[in-house]
Amino acid sequence: MFTFLHNIKCQYGGQCDDNDPKHLSEYDHPDYCIDEGNCQNVHQQHLFAYRHLPLCSDGFHCSNCKEFRHCKSICPYDNCCIQFHDKQHFENTIHSFRLPCPFTPYNCSMYVGFIQTGNTNKISSEVENHCYKYSHVCPFGRQCKTSIHIARTICSDIDKCLQFTDEEHLESFSHPG
């Protein structure tokens, strides 16, 4: 008498990195993505649904396209990334914020003017365009998704803080907002 057992699907799907022969024989894994080394899709659903070649550590600048995928990976630190001025890191990873201003943090007079002006009607179009084009280190902390955030402790003055122009204070504390 023969018994046929169905394998259980691996809980990690296409993101499984366990190459142990015992694991591979006990669990089912999805097929490889048909785009092979050219796959640029980094959405979680796609990565779970298909197996992929490993990401190339050299990024787009190598000759091993058949053995590795060549696409931007998602920065694990995203909007809390401290490497926002590292050109190579920014070119090779995906972040949720726009291109960083070359003067951030704290040396961009346009951004300082932008956050200090309470009335948006008084902001010049030059300042407004600059602030929409570039991301800046946010003095309000990690709650928002449109700026660069560096992990800091919350300011004890919370929303009553008057030290938004003090560079040393801003490097040490986050402000909810």
pTM of the predicted structure, to 2 decimals: 0.45
Helix (H) or strand (E) holding 173: strand 173-174
Q: Measuring CA to CA, which residue among 104, 107, 86 is closest to residue 95?
A: 86
User: Measured between alpha carbons, how far is 53 from 39 in angstroms, rounded to an integer?
Assistant: 9
29-74 pLDDT, tens digit each: 999 888 877 777 888 899 999 998 777 666 666 666 666 666 777 8
Q: What is the token pair recorded at 173?
A: 């504390």
User: Measured between alpha carbons, how far is 7 from 26 in angstroms, rounded to an integer?
Assistant: 6
